[in-house]
Amino acid sequence: MNSLQLNLASRFVKNCSDATCDVERKGLMDCAFREDAIAEFIELLEPQAESRTSSLKKLFPDMQALYDSVMAGQDRSEQLRRQAAIAWVLCRTKHLLKLGD
C-alpha cells in the first residue's frame, strides 16, 4: 500500500548515506524514486489505500517493529533479499486469495 512504498523509499534514501560509491548511491536513489512513483500510482488506483493502511495498523500495531527486527543487523544486500521475499509472499497471498473468490 501507499505507506509501505513510502516507507521503502525512505529506507532507500537512508541507505544512501552508507553507500560505498556513487554508483551504489545512484542505484539506491533510483529505487527510492521508483517507490515514490509506485506510491503515487497506488493512490490514483486506490484513493482509500491510506485509510486501509491505518485500519491495518490498528489491528497490527507492532507490524513496523516486527519488520524492523527482521531487517536489523543485516547488510544491505540481505535486507534487499528479505524485502523481495516479503513482497513475493504478499503478492502470492493476494493471488491465492483472489483464486478463492
- The tally of CA atoms less than 13 A away on the side-chain side of residue 20 is 3
Do 2 and 53 form a contact (C-beta atoms < 8 A)? Answer: yes
Please list the ranges in the chain whose pLDDT falls under 70: 1-5, 95, 97, 99-101
What's the pLDDT score for residue 73? 92
CA distance to 22, 31, 41, per residue, from 18 (Å): 11, 15, 29
CA distance to 3, 25, 71, 75, 101, per residue, from 79 (Å): 19, 16, 6, 6, 33
What's the pLDDT score for residue 101? 52
Render 26-69 in DSSP notation, one character per residue: HHHHHHHHHHHHHHHHHHHH-TTHHHHHHHHHHH-TTHHHHHHH
Q: Say how far apart CA 22 and CA 88 lie, in whole Å.
A: 29
H or E element that contains 7: helix 2-16
What's the pLDDT score for residue 47? 75
pLDDT digits (tens, 9 = 90+) for 76-92: 889 888 888 887 887 77
What's the pLDDT score for residue 11? 79
What are the boundaries of each domain within the chain?
1-59, 62-101
